[in-house]
Amino acid sequence: MTALSVEGVTVSFDGTMAVDAVTLDVAAGEVLGILGPSGSGKSTLLRSVAGLERLDAGRVRWHGDDITALPVHRRGFALMFQDGQLFPHRTVEENIAYPLRIAGGRGGSGRGGAGRVDELLELVGLAGFGRRRVTELSGGEQQRVALARSLAARPRMLLLDEPLSALDRELRERLAGDLRRILVDTGTTAVFVTHDQDEAFAVSDRVAVMIAGRLVQVGTPAEVWRRPGSAQIARFLGYTTVLEGAAARLVDAGAPGAIALRASGVVVADGGQVAARVVRSTPAVDGARVRLAVDGIGEVDGVAGAGLPVAAGDVVGVRFDGAGIARLGGSSLGGSPVGGVVASRGAADDSPFVDGARA
Ligand code: ADP
Ligand code: MG
């Protein structure tokens, strides 16, 4: 069942199009990730759903009802940001109980409120933290409190804008998994904005990719990852090279069209399927990152396992690893799947490959 419908939502600032005719549905109980580079209009789209932006065009519906003109506080949505915006001079439980007190009649006062706070602390993995001051907590713990507070009044939908972006990488990965579990366990309908691919894929049921104000692809994480809709989307997802024609078929014999490669898909290996010359090699914790000139393909980024000697000029074997290869042409929302490939090639460049790093 569709909960949220965004229909042709357009927002511009002084003539600059921040959100360009975005149409999108979110099902009840679904976690939808909005993934895009910085400045692509993700926050503006989220704020439009929340009721914080004036739309140039389009509508927002909730279970079919037009809420485009409904004020923010009457939409029943909760918002959570990168900076959890907690009250620093209050305790954890006071912060979490705050929306319950505002909600008043909805069981927010007295023992019911306290029970709800304990339940929320348990949910976010902070049982027993109620009396602490939020200033005594780590950044990750503070975001757990912010999440508990967002869920306290049982919002009809939760809107999250880069809630993990201020945290360091390892913590972010762990919290992304916890966040998904909490949203799924509570059946919360949520829209989750991030610029981080791994995070979007870890948290979301479906991912909507936004580039320059437009929605360019919507699908499950696996669909978007395995079948990026265009070269531009593939590059944003971290694929460094896009190949077409004979070069593509050297990597993936059955490829019907263009393919995209990430460094992890190009592996230096004894007895690999094609030969390559090492252009340069940079040590990494688990071996080396390499730039390779591969026979019949051209220069691509790759990886070499620890202990394999790879010096510039060496001739090595290369194996292609399916986990780092995508076929382009997943259902893109406009533009031709390989449009970006052609556009990124110089007119006089007839090489069979396109180098993402240089494009
Ligand atoms: P994202 O969240 O994907 O980084 P934003 O939605 O914040 O992107 O911004 C999209 C575009 O709109 C950017 O070019 C940004 O500079 C512009 N923008 C956002 N908010 C405002 C504003 N209040 N006034 C003027 N320009 C804005
Ligand atoms: Mg933003």
CATH architecture of 2-226: 3-Layer(aba) Sandwich (3.40)
Break the chain into its structural domains and give their ranges: 2-226, 231-355
**Digit-coded pLDDT (tens) for 44-84:** 999 999 999 999 999 999 999 999 999 999 999 999 988 87
**Digit-coded pLDDT (tens) for 79-100:** 998 887 899 999 999 999 998 8
pLDDT at site 155? 95
* 274 Cα distance to chain centroid: 34
Angstrom distances, CA of residue 223 to CA of 202, 203, 342, 343: 14, 15, 23, 24
Name the token pair of 244.
Answer: 């077409």
Provide the 8-state DSSP code for 199: H
Euclidean distance between CA atoms 272 and 7, whole angstroms? 50
What is the Å distance from ligand 2's center to 68 Cα? Answer: 21
Residues of the chain with pLDDT under 50: 105-111, 335-359
Residue nearest to atom 22 of ligand 1 (CA): 13
* 268 Cα distance to chain centroid: 30
Provide the 8-state DSSP code for 75: S
Name the token pair of 275.
Answer: 């030969």
What is the Å distance from ligand 2's center to 265 Cα? Answer: 31
Euclidean distance between CA atoms 74 and 70, whole angstroms? 6
C-alpha torsion angle, residues 235, 237, 239, 240 (rounded to 10): 50
Per-residue burial over 222-239, b if 16 or more Cβ lie within 10 Å, else e, is: ebbbebbbbbbbbbbbeb
- Mutate which of 10, 11, 13 for ligand 1? The one with the most ligand atoms within 8 Å of its CB, which is 13
What is the Å distance from ligand 2's center to 214 Cα? Answer: 14
Euclidean distance between CA atoms 198 and 186, whole angstroms? 23
